[in-house]
Structure formats: structure tokens, C-alpha cells
Chains A and B, each alone.
Chain A
Amino acid sequence: MAAASAASAASAAETPATPATPATPETAETPATATAAEPKVVLSARGITKNYGGVRALKGVDFDIREGKVTTLFGENGAGKSTLMKIMSGVERASGGKLVLDGREVHFASTRQAEDAGVAIIHQELNLAPNMTVRDNIFLGRELRTRAGGIDYAKEAQIVGDLMRRLEGDIKPTALVADLRLGQQQIVEIAGALLNQAKVLIMDEPTSALSAPEVEVLFRVINELTGDGVAVVYISHHLEEALHITDHAVVFRDGELVAQAPAEAISLSWVIRQMAGRAVDEASRLAPGVTGAELLSVHDAVVPDPLTSGRNVVDGVSLGVRAGELVCVYGLMGAGRTELLEAVAGRMPMTSGRVALAGRDLTRASIRERIDQGLCLGPEHRQRDGLVQTLSIGRNMVLASISAFTKGGFLQRRAEAQRVKRGQAQTVIKMGSAKDLIGSLSGGNQQKVVVSKVLLTEPKVLILDEPTRGIDVGAKAEIFRLLAEQAAAGLGILYVTSEIGEALQYSHRIIVMSRGRIVRQFDSGRATREEVMVASGENTAVLAEAENGDSQ
């Protein structure tokens, strides 16, 4: 337990970072706990801010990346880690503040510029052309030329071969990327960064889709890179894994850097405490509702991975939602939450298991039949799955309930207009005319249109996937208030969120999923941030450690 006490000392010394006084690169090299042997800072951010419309994603962050070290970013979804990394790698532009590379201020207008300066990012979604070979992907846009002006394939293949040997990847330069496993594809991306002699390599959730042996290989590669002096920035929701590889841990919360400490001084429980920050405001928690009979029941649902045969993204999940109940499914990315909801809504096929609504079996029902029975899904990506961009606000709103205003095969315009009005009033959508294109609305109001569309089908059970993704705080609160109202009116509500705060505040029950299974259920009234966070990781030993840490 010595580690825990050291950690609390460290956190007391270092929180919070002060955005008001941006330090110069020189002074940045000597933070509070720095020793004489502190390695050189390669890239640093000073007072970086970023606004998305009304949302302040970063509130003035100072951040250093050191040569030959693995810096790990911890934080909940929306804490600002990925946003900062996108700014530092040229994917996005900061609203304020500056970036300093090797003592000189830099502006990255594109990822290409950042790469040329030696800063490369590897995203969660890999950026490779699957129809091309490993060699062609690595050299894409910077092909080697022969004297005649053609591409020097032999030289390229030789260089790729050398890179692969260095990365211990047994990958042929002429292999098609589509034929590679995900872990191998990641190696290809890293090889591309190395080719460009990256000084800083940023990895955003690199292990979320990797198998355990692939993670091991990745970690060996990372160790080798840092040995060569490359600075690695690592973001992962798998805390234990991240702690294992890190040299320097940095914790973000609500757009600010709240704590940092060297790996030797911290433990998992320290990280979790710093991430969670505050306890849940008890007064704002949803009051326990009056729950009725079970409306939705899912029994032993199994959904196969559409991309990898033999793997199940949902692996034997059973759950029930009762009338008047707000049930939240929490889990990390890739836990199978979205797939579970889509299977329940009829979008993804289940290989086994049953879905029933109010006692009626819907396992083989079409989406239409499920909607008619009172089961409707508001999907995660409102642009991709939720809204039709070429239709007006009003027509998007009533798209799922057209039959309700069809008489004798014809649409009843007046009845439709009334429905739109009702939907707008119910979800408090700010709009000019219902005839305007959906794109004229803000993200929050677009999301309300999605919710409204689902509500207008007069469902018994409402299913929502990330109903507050990418919208501002005001709209979030409004949507949850609406959901609470609907629950109080007797609907069953099942929703997915990535934000623990939301889960704790706006639900009666929290179901935590990990790797396709339900790992724990909480009565929200009693759960804490730490408990939920720990449960979403897959290791139960971690749970024990965190609980010990808390009892200190």
C-alpha cells in the first residue's frame, strides 16, 4: 500500500495544472516532481483551447511529450484526451494556445504537415487502403521513383522488409492489407510512421480491437521505439493495460489536465480517483421510479461479429426492462453495447436467443413489425443511421410513423402537420419551419428530432444508443429530462452511454458490459463512479485492488 500513499502525495503536489499562466518550453522541462535526469521535451502544448460550437472540449491545457517515454492519457469519454491529440497531430486546429516542437512554435494545417515535422497519429479506425498492398500503403503519397519516373517497387519492398523486421511483424510487403489481421494492420500503420521518422507517435485506443498476443507484440514494439528515442503517447480505456506500458501518466477531466505523475508513483486506484474526480451529486440522481411489469425481455442473445467469423460481439446477454424503468448500458468501446441494441431492434441478426416485448415473441420480427409492436431504436450515429439529410425536419420526425397518418393509401397532410407539432412540443425542438432541411438544426436539436421520431411511433420500450453523443450540456439535460418524463409515464427505456456521470445520474439501473457479456449490474442509487469504471474493465483482480485503494 506504499504505492497508494505515494500516489496521493503526488496528486496533492501536482493538481491542478494552471492554464492561466502558460509556461515557456524551458521552464516546462522542470515540472514539480522533475528530477535531474528528466528527458527532453519534444512536443508541448501551451494553453490549448478548443470549442465545438458551444461545447468547450479543452479549457487551456499545458501538456508535454518527452523523448523516449510513453506518456499515457487517462480520462473519461469527453474529457478531452482525443481532442488534444487531434490538435497535436494536425487533424484539427486549436481554438487557442500554441504548440511547441523542439523549442519552436509550430502550426500544423494538416496531418501531412505534422507527419513531415515528425508527429504521427494512429487512430482507432485505421487509415489504410484495404485494397492495396502493405508496401503501397506505407509509401502512399511518397512513392520512391526510379530514374525513368516509375515507382521503384524493389527499393520500397526492401525498406518495408527492414521496417517489418524491426517491428517483429511477419508481414510480406506485397501482402494485401485486407488479408491482414487487425493487429498486423496496426503494425503496418506504425511502420508508415517510422518510415517518416516520427519523433512523436500518438496512439489512440490502439488495443481496443486487438487480441492478447497482439497487445503483447504491440507493447514490445512500443518499448523498442522508446528505446530508440521515439516519444509515444498512448490513450486507452483499458486502464490496467495502459498503466503497464506507461512511463508518465496524465489524467484529463472535463477538458482540463487535472493530474500527472511518473509511473513509479501511481497505482490504478490513483488513476481511477483522479478520473472520477468528484463523487456523484446525490441530489441530482434520478429518483427511484415506480416500476411495473417487465416489458422487454432479452434472453441469451448471441450476435456474431459481422467482420470476424467465429467471434461473437454479443455473447449470451439476458436482460429485462420494466415499465417505468430507465436502464442504462455502460461499457467501453467494443463491449458490444451497440450491437446488442441493434439486435434487439432487429437490425443485426442474432444466431441464438430470444427477444420478447410484453410477452410477445419478436425474435424473428422485422424492424417494421417491432416498431408496430412498440419497440423502436434511436441509433448512435444520427448522421449515418438516424436522419435522412435530404428530408426536412418534419419529414424526418414522422418517418417511422407514416402509417399513423395514412388513410386509404394516402398521406393525410393535416394529420401529419399535427404530429410534427406534437413531436416538436414534446421534445422542445428549436426550429424555424418544419419544412427546413434537417441540416439547418444544431446537433442537439437534430438529436431531439431522432428522439422525437422514436417517440412518435408510440413505443412501449424506447431504445437509444448514445442519445447525447456530441451535443452540448444544455441539450443533454433536456434529453434526459424528457426520458425521465417518458419513464414516469410508463415507458421502458434502455439506453447506452459512454459517460459514467450520465449513467449514474439518469438511470434506475446500470448494466455494465465488457467483451460482449454483462459483467455487473448496479442499482444506480448505490453505485459509485469508481465501481462502474472498474467493472467495465475486464479484470476482476483490478476491482479488488481499487477497493483496497479506496479503503485507505
Chain B
Amino acid sequence: MSLTINDKAAAATAAEPAGGRARRRPNLGELLIEGRSLIALVLIIVLFTALAPDQYLTVDSLIVMTRHVAINAIIALGMLLVILTGGIDLSVGSTVGLSGVVAGGLLQGLHLSWADVTVYPALWVVIVVAIAIGTLVGWCNGVLVTRFKVAPFVATLGMMYVARGAAMLLSDGKTFSQLAGQPELGNQGFRGIGLGEFPPKEWLGHGIPTGIWVMVAVGLIAYVLLGRTPFGRWLYAVGGNARAAELSGVPVKKVETRVYVLCGFASAVVGLIIASELSAAAPQTGESYELNAIAAVVIGGAALSGGRGTVRGTLIGAFVIGFLSDGLVIVGVSEFWQRVIKGLVIIAAVALDQLQQGLKRRPAAPADPGKRPSAPEA
């Protein structure tokens, strides 16, 4: 990956043109480690196809599994933004539940006791409000972290309880069901968010559900955001070294606040998709989703310390987790073993990542006073 530089010679001769040294070619071992999550995904598919040839690798099953993956992937992409800045967001699962409940409640009708009327907002209002609530949770996280200097872990842990509690309060602990809406109220169409298909089933025999398209859209947006906009560049800089970023004029606090807002937004979208798919909104929805999202990001090669991670990696990470879990279910592995295996995969991913970082660091080792913790003289 990184090339070796003979810094002594390079520094001593001033006029020598740069770029003469050849890039070191990565060996097979390094390639395997570099592409480990993709290799893991292929292995998973091959393994389960062998174990359950008729059930695993069929178009229908792939669509179902990908729909599951989409739920996790959309949250994980929001989580990726947060983790890239060196933060973490534990409140995403609760936000999923809260935004679903808000949507469900509004579709069931908002009873205004002072006027004794029940208002049924239009579908677009329901969507906007539900997403706004999720985004608000994210904004609270951001403000707590940047303005009040609460550690991200603690701030979002707190908001996780607050948002979950709010969902319980709004629904009185019950599930809002039958969210299809009624023609006479003009709030139909909610189910299309999760269950709508494109292209329509009649065309090809298989339709791809909206959830998957949303994942594709969010993935593309995240990809462009990270790779092609100043905000993306700032984000990597803040996560890599916030002090240096600040001195380079990066609005560090604004960046940090925004990633939590975006993460809240992504979670709210997922809340809507799930409520729509199930045609029901339960306040418990989304429990432990934060852990799946973090796992996807980490398997995708991101560093929890910030500054390192990609959209592609995170998506692959989400597929690894989703295809593994569903595969284990299809071949009938017990729920208990499923957890053990998932845990081992996550640990292996991070252990390999450390190994890879160690390999990367090695070529840059030549003695250099500036890189040592202690320079010859302070």
C-alpha cells in the first residue's frame, strides 16, 4: 500500500526529481486481508448455497435477504459518518422505534382534545414529521457532544433511553397497527414505502422492494458526500486529527453536529420502512439495531477511533451480517448458535483489521526524528 521512502537520501539531495521510486506490490497475504470482508461474503454465499442449495441462492430468497440487509445498511451508513469523526451513536435503534411510532400515531389520527377533533394528516406530512423527529434526536446528540462536551458514548446512550421512552409514551406502550390508511381520509399509500416494488412484479416476475432502492440511494448519496464534497473531506480530517483540522479552518463542531443529524435522519427513514413493511409500528422496534450497525461498519474496515472507513466497506459489512444471519436461519442453526457465530465474525474482522494496520505501518518505519515521540531536543 504505502511505498518505502529512503528519507535520508531523499532529504539530503534537494534537486532530485520526485516520484522515481516504484510502488511496492502487495503480496497475496496482504491482498487477502485487504479484501477480507468481500471474501467473507463470497465464502458465506458459497457455504450456504452448498448447505441449502434450493433455498439460499434463489432470486426470491436473495431479495428477501437484501431487504433485511437494507434495514441495517441504511442505519450503518449513518453510523459510518459518526464513526468516521471518532464518535458513536447508540440511539439509532430507539430512533427507528420512535419515528415508526410517530408515523403510526399520525396515520391513526391525531386527536386534538381542545377542539375534540381527530386530525388525519396527509401522507407526506406524516413522513416529514416522522423524519423530522428522528433528525431531532440526532441533533440533540450532536449538541450534547459538541456544545456540552458529553462523550458520544454517554450522550447517545442517554438519548437511546430518552427516545425509546418517548416512543413508549406516545404509543402508551402499544403497537399501532393497520397503517394502510383509508381513501376517505386521504392518507393512503404508507405501505408503499416498504413494500412498493420496482420494477413491478408483472414485468420480470420479481419486483425489487422500495427498501432496497432506498439503500441504493442512501449508499450513492453517502458515497458522493464522502468522496466528492468538502463536508466529506472535513469529516475524514476531523476523525483523523481534530486539532489539525481545526487549525486548517475546518468547522469541527459543525461537522460533528451534522453527522449525528444525518445519522438520526437515516434511522428515521428506516423506522418508516419497517413500519410500512409490517403495517404496524411498535415502540420496541429497532432494539439492538445500533449493535448491528456498528458491526457492519467495523466489519467494513472502519476504525472506531475515526478517520478511516468507506461506504463500500460498510455496505459489504451489512451484507456479511445479513447474509450470514439469514443463512444460519435457513439451514436451521439454533438462535443461540447464531449469536455466537455472529460475534466471532465481528471479532475476526477487527483482529484482521489490526493485522492489516500493522502491515501498513511497517514500511514507514525508517528512523526519523520527527516521527518519534521524543525529538533529539525539545
Residues of chain A touching chain B, judged by Cβ–Cβ distance below 8 Å, are: 50-55, 57, 77-83, 86, 91-92, 124, 333, 345, 347, 366-368, 370-372, 376-377, 379, 382-391, 395, 399-400, 402-403, 406, 409-411, 413, 424, 428-433, 436-437, 439-447, 453, 457, 469-472, 474-475, 478
B376 touches A57 (CB 8 A): yes
Given that A78-B377, A430-B5, A432-B21 are known contacts, is A51 also in contact with B367, CB under 8 Å in the complex?
Answer: yes
B8 touches A429 (CB 8 A): no
A432 touches B19 (CB 8 A): yes
Q: Main SS of chain A's interface residues?
A: mixed
Closest 8 A/B residue pairs (Cβ): A443-B370, A442-B7, A390-B307, A52-B369, A390-B240, A470-B375, A388-B240, A430-B10
> In the complex, how many angstroms separate the beta carbon of B253 from the nearest chain A beta carbon?
11
Which of these, B11, B228, B230, contacts A430 with CB under 8 Å? Answer: B11
B18 touches A471 (CB 8 A): no
> In the complex, how many angstroms separate the beta carbon of B337 from the nearest chain A beta carbon?
37
B245 touches A399 (CB 8 A): yes
Given that A82-B378, A367-B246, A390-B308 are known contacts, is A443 also in contact with B371, CB under 8 Å in the complex?
Answer: yes
23 A-B residue pairings within 8 Å (CB atoms): A52-B372, A53-B366, A57-B376, A124-B378, A368-B250, A388-B241, A390-B306, A391-B237, A391-B307, A399-B245, A400-B249, A428-B18, A432-B21, A432-B23, A433-B19, A443-B368, A444-B7, A444-B11, A444-B370, A446-B371, A469-B370, A472-B369, A474-B12
- A446→B245 CA distance, assembly (Å): 16
Across the two chains, which residue of chain A brings its CB closest to B251? Answer: A368
A411 touches B233 (CB 8 A): yes
Residues from chain A with Cβ under 8 Å of B233 in the complex: 395, 399, 402, 411
Residues from chain A with Cβ under 8 Å of B339 in the complex: none
- A281→B244 CA distance, assembly (Å): 37
Determine whether B360 belongs to the interface, using a CB cutoff of 8 Å to chain A. yes
Across the two chains, which residue of chain B brings its CB closest to A428? Answer: B14
Given that A390-B239, A439-B371 are known contacts, is A82 also in contact with B229, CB under 8 Å in the complex?
Answer: no
Residues from chain A with Cβ under 8 Å of B260 in the complex: none
Determine whether B334 belongs to the interface, using a CB cutoff of 8 Å to chain A. no
- A50→B12 CA distance, assembly (Å): 19
Residues from chain A with Cβ under 8 Å of B8 in the complex: 53-54, 442, 472
> In the complex, how many angstroms separate the beta carbon of A206 from the nearest chain B beta carbon?
14
B370 touches A402 (CB 8 A): no
Across the two chains, which residue of chain A brings its CB closest to B230? Answer: A402
Residues from chain B with Cβ under 8 Å of A474 in the complex: 11-14
A388 touches B16 (CB 8 A): no
Residues from chain B with Cβ under 8 Å of A376 in the complex: 249
B376 touches A367 (CB 8 A): no
A442 touches B307 (CB 8 A): no
Across the two chains, which residue of chain B brings its CB closest to A333? Answer: B378
> Of A79, A347, A391, A430, which is in contact with the most chain B CB atoms at under 10 Å from its CB?
A430
> In the complex, how many angstroms separate the beta carbon of A63 from the nearest chain B beta carbon?
16
Residues from chain B with Cβ under 8 Å of A345 in the complex: 247
Task: For chain B, residues 102 to 157, give those with C-beta under 8 angstroms from any C-beta of chain A.
Answer: none
Residues from chain B with Cβ under 8 Å of A433 in the complex: 3, 19, 23
A410 touches B370 (CB 8 A): no
- A429→B375 CA distance, assembly (Å): 21
A411 touches B229 (CB 8 A): yes
B230 touches A406 (CB 8 A): yes
Across the two chains, which residue of chain B brings its CB closest to A82? Answer: B377
Which of these, B12, B247, B306, B367, contacts A347 with CB under 8 Å? Answer: B247
> In the complex, how many angstroms separate the beta carbon of B22 from the nearest chain A beta carbon?
8
Across the two chains, which residue of chain A brings its CB closest to B306? Answer: A390
Determine whether B27 belongs to the interface, using a CB cutoff of 8 Å to chain A. no
- A36→B321 CA distance, assembly (Å): 81
Given that A55-B369, A409-B229 are known contacts, is A439 also in contact with B364, CB under 8 Å in the complex?
Answer: yes
A436 touches B369 (CB 8 A): no
- B220-246 CB mask vs A (1 if < 8 Å, else 0) is 000010011110011011011101111
Given that A391-B240, A472-B11 are known contacts, is A77 also in contact with B377, CB under 8 Å in the complex?
Answer: yes
Which of these, A52, A367, A389, A440, contacts B241 with CB under 8 Å? Answer: A389
Residues from chain A with Cβ under 8 Å of B307 in the complex: 388-391
Residues from chain B with Cβ under 8 Å of A386 in the complex: 244, 247
- A441→B371 CA distance, assembly (Å): 10
A55 touches B376 (CB 8 A): yes
A52 touches B11 (CB 8 A): no
Task: For chain B, residues 44 to 83, give those with C-beta under 8 angstroms from any C-beta of chain A.
Answer: none
> In the complex, how many angstroms separate the beta carbon of A51 from the nearest chain B beta carbon?
7
Determine whether B26 belongs to the interface, using a CB cutoff of 8 Å to chain A. no
Which of these, B4, B12, B244, B368, contacts A385 with CB under 8 Å? Answer: B244
B363 touches A440 (CB 8 A): yes
Across the two chains, which residue of chain B brings its CB closest to A481? Answer: B14
> Of B307, B308, B377, which is in contact with the most chain A CB atoms at under 10 Å from its CB?
B377
> In the complex, how many angstroms separate the beta carbon of A408 from the nearest chain B beta carbon?
10
Residues from chain A with Cβ under 8 Å of B368 in the complex: 52-53, 442-443
- A282→B2 CA distance, assembly (Å): 43
Residues from chain A with Cβ under 8 Å of B16 in the complex: 430
B377 touches A437 (CB 8 A): no
Residues from chain B with Cβ under 8 Å of A377 in the complex: 247
Residues from chain B with Cβ under 8 Å of A55 in the complex: 369, 376
- B182-195 CB mask vs A (1 if < 8 Å, else 0) is 00000000000000
> Of B8, B12, B13, B241, which is in contact with the most chain A CB atoms at under 10 Å from its CB?
B241
